Amino acid sequence: MSEITTTDQASRYAKSLEANTWAQEIMPGGVSSPVRAYKAVGRIPVTIKSGDKATVTDIDGNIYIDYVLSYGPLILGHTPEPAAAAMSKVLRSGWSFGMPTELESQLAQTIVDAVPAIDLVRFVNSGTEAVMSAIRLARAATVRDKIIKCTGCYHGHSDSLLVQAGSGATTLGVPSSPGVPAQITAGTVLIPFNDIPTAEKALAENDIAALVIEPIAGNMGCIPPQENYLQTLRDLCDKHGTLLIFDEVMTGFRVAKGCAQSIYNITPDLTCLGKVVGGGLPCAAYGGREDLMRKVAPDGPVYQAGTLSGNPLAMAAGLSTLETLFSTDAYAKLESIGNALEIGLKKIASDAGVPVYTTRVGSMIGLFFSDSPVHNYEDAVACDTAKYSTFFSVMLDQGVILAPSAFETWFVSTEHDQAALDVTFAAAAKAFAAVAAM
């Protein structure tokens, strides 16, 4: 594919440009979630018409190898047949009741069987709800109000967590959102990721209800925990009577059947799930120790509710996704393709003379425009976001679509094959060349 000039862009993206103008007239930023607006990369977002396996197609007919995958849920690629079939059955028998269904118990049982730390689970509709509810439960169980989170980790947009969140907020340079009452965020203590002394200090100096963390940070780029970091947090939480909440909304069932906690052999008190657990439908969950979960209404006094929680369509999609993941060689495939992608990108960047730092845990990959390691938020924001924007833009024009932010994670699916990598690497050669020429 030859270089695309500015003029070409006008023709290549004509319908998306028109669609975005209309969308901006009727929706803030023309989007349903801020990061999708492409503000951080200085482009107009493409409007998507369809997805198929590892690709998406925009309304101008441009086909892209997709490393966004709906920001993680589509681990089996777009429109996997088993999930489509499972959902079509539900479509014929009823897709919402506001009453119990066996599908909920089937997915709940699958989660409980796969994650030893989860004795009971409650479904909700978003990762935000899952983490917000887990924190409320932790506050009730410990009779403490304060929580700890890491700078750069993102746990959804509930008030007490919208404090220097990662993901969109970091990209948009909004350290914390207007409209969040100061007294709410006063109870949130921020510590750097991958740093023990600050965690020790924060726990010792405050009565902390819960330390909530992404075990593998995915909202400041992909940053794995350093050796013994998570175990030390576990030990410190035990010492101070603080509950450890693993936000596995992104990592849950993506990096392993037993989630990230099984890779690092840590037992959190509560686990939050999302994305993959719903297979791309609005579904998330929180779960954990029975003594804690029995405090959730109606068993206990901790209130949490949701009209569409446990929705049959989402349950069918999630159950089919996990069944496929657990009964095939999916994780081996994801490891292989993720490894090939990381190695290929590193080589192409090196050949182009562009310093990059890469990270990877299974099918979660991080690419930082930095000539030094990235272990926390401070390292991540020091990376060259202008270079990322150039890289993103050339990749888009060459048929590879990435998250429009240097603070997101690349995701691969079981459908990303060698042909997809070939397109990716050809595009990356041009993209790194453009970065080198900056």
Residues that bind ligand KE4 (CB under 6 A): 33, 35, 71, 126-128, 131, 154-156, 167-168, 214, 218-219, 247, 249-250, 274, 284, 408
Q: Which is nearer to ligand KE4, 312 or 404 (CB)?
A: 404
Q: Is residue 154 flagged as an active site residue?
A: yes
Q: How many CB atoms lie within 10 A of CB 290?
A: 12
> Considering the complex, what minimum distance in angstroms separates the CB of residue 188 from ligand KE4?
15
> Considering the complex, what minimum distance in angstroms separates the CB of residue 436 from ligand KE4?
28
> Considering the complex, what minimum distance in angstroms separates the CB of residue 232 from ligand KE4?
21
Q: Which is nearer to ligand KE4, 154 or 193 (CB)?
A: 154
d(CA 94, CA 92): 6
Give the 3-state secondary structure of residue 245.
strand
> Considering the complex, what minimum distance in angstroms separates the CB of residue 318 from ligand KE4?
13
> Considering the complex, what minimum distance in angstroms separates the CB of residue 217 from ligand KE4?
8
HEC assignment per residue over 277-331: HHCCCCCEEEEECHHHHCCECCCCCECCCCCCCCCHHHHHHHHHHHHHHHHCCHH
The number of C-alpha atoms within 13 Å of 155 and in the hemisphere containing its C-beta is 34
Q: Is residue 247 flagged as an active site residue?
A: yes
Q: What are phi and psi of 265, to 5 degrees?
A: 55, 50
Catalytic-role residue among 13, 38, 64, 154: 154
Q: Specify the residue for token string 């290549």.
A: 12
Q: Which is nearer to ligand KE4, 43 or 430 (CB)?
A: 43
Point out which residues pair with 78 in neighbouring strands: 53
The number of C-alpha atoms within 13 Å of 261 and in the hemisphere containing its C-beta is 25
Q: Are 76 and 328 in contact (CB under 8 A)?
A: no
Contacts of 164 by beta carbon, 8 Å cutoff, 6+ apart? 151, 152, 170, 175, 176, 190, 377
Q: Which is nearer to ligand KE4, 204 or 305 (CB)?
A: 305
Amino acid in position 376: N
d(CA 317, CA 47): 24
Catalytic-role residue among 58, 66, 247, 379: 247
Catalytic-role residue among 146, 275, 387, 430: 275
- Residue whose CB is nearest to ligand KE4 in the complex, by number: 127
Q: Is residue 264 flagged as an active site residue?
A: no
Q: Which is nearer to ligand KE4, 156 or 362 (CB)?
A: 156
Active-site residue numbers? Answer: 154, 247, 275
